[in-house]
Amino acid sequence: MLGKKSDFTIHPINVLQDNIVWVWVHNCNAVVVDPSISGPVEKWLLEKNLSLKAILQTHHHDDHIGGTQKLIKTWPEAKVVASKKEHKRIPFQTFSVDDNDIFNLMDAEIKVIEVHGHTDNHIAFYISKQNAKCNILFPGDTLFGGGCGRLLEGSPVQMFESLYKLNSLPENTEIYPAHEYTESNLKWALSLEPGNISIIERLKLIQKKLQKGMSSLPSTLSEERKTNLFLIAENVEKFTMLRKHKDRWKC
């Protein structure tokens, strides 16, 4: 949550196998991040009498944009914010952005951070609000709870540099990834560092949450710095080794 609960909240909608569509609510307005499908999102917004102001798109994969066109039929005034470089793969975007662009939305300032690696032209959205206790990050498929995205189009160097950018944000930044992968990622990390107390404690905590039907997310950058092996890899060679190991690892 960012700010007062009655003023500024973020809610998860779990869809498909492990996708999370985040809905950021301010008063009677909402912004949706990476809607995989439209049905559950539309239902949630209508039940709460919310007006959809914008859709933030981190990248072009169908499990992130699959519901967008249906949603903008229901709310035609909603902006679709996406990378200017992705006009061909996200052709329905109406508000195109570049790296380091800053724009205002729902009484908050949003900075665009280009984070290549999982795909070309992947972007993250970093949101700050005056007098808030923390800022928030929607990293898409770049940074996960305890992990990072697979290298489907980019290189290890690109992903390493992207994670470095995100790791440069304030440590109290709340992180809202697009997938519920935390438990699996931490089990993998523990297989490499079985004596790591921070990983052991975090895994126990999120397992209790999942057993209660709760999400393991959001996390904080401070938490990721203690338990995310990809984020704290000291060089590209180490990161590359970890990414290859994770790609082959089976829970």
pLDDT tens-digit map of 159-169: 999 999 999 99
pLDDT tens, residue by residue, 179-194: 999 999 999 999 999 9
Residues contacting 224, CB < 8 A, separation 6+ = 143, 145, 146, 175, 231
Q: Is 26 one of the annotated binding-site residues?
A: no
pLDDT of residue 5: 40
73-91 tens-digit pLDDT: 999 999 999 999 999 999 9
If we measure between CA atoms, which residue out of 39, 83, 28 comes closest to residue 60?
A: 83
Query: How confident is residue 231, by pLDDT bands cut at 50, 70 and 90?
Result: very high
Helices H / strands E in the chain, number of each: 8, 14
CA distance 229 to 221: 13
| pTM of the predicted protein model | 0.95
The Cβ of residue 116 has, within 10 Å, a number of other Cβ atoms equal to 20
Predicted pLDDT at 128: 85
**Is 63 annotated as belonging to a binding site?**
yes
* CA angle, residues 172, 108, 144, in degrees to nearest 5: 40
The answer to the question of whether 60 is labelled as a binding residue is no
Instruction: Report the alpha-carbon distance of residue 9 to residue 245 in Å, rounded.
Output: 37
Q: What does the alpha-carbon distance between residue 11 and residue 241 come to, in Å, rounded to a whole number?
A: 35
Consult the annotation and say whether 118 binds a ligand: yes
Residue 6 has pLDDT above 50, yes or no: no
Per-residue pLDDT at 171:
94
Using pLDDT thresholds of 50, 70 and 90, give the confidence band for residue 250.
confident
pLDDT at 2 over 70: no
Q: What's the CA gap between 74 and 131, in Å, rounded?
A: 34
Task: Supply the pLDDT for residue 44.
Answer: 98
Domains of the chain are 8-248 (3.60.15.10)
Query: What is the model's pLDDT at position 221?
Result: 97
pLDDT, one tens digit per residue, over 14-60 is: 999 999 999 999 999 999 999 999 999 999 999 999 999 999 999 99
- Which strand (E) or helix (H) includes residue 75? none
User: Is 120 a known ligand-binding residue?
Assistant: no
pLDDT in tens, 99-135: 999 999 998 999 999 999 999 999 999 998 766 667 9
Supply the pLDDT for residue 222. 97
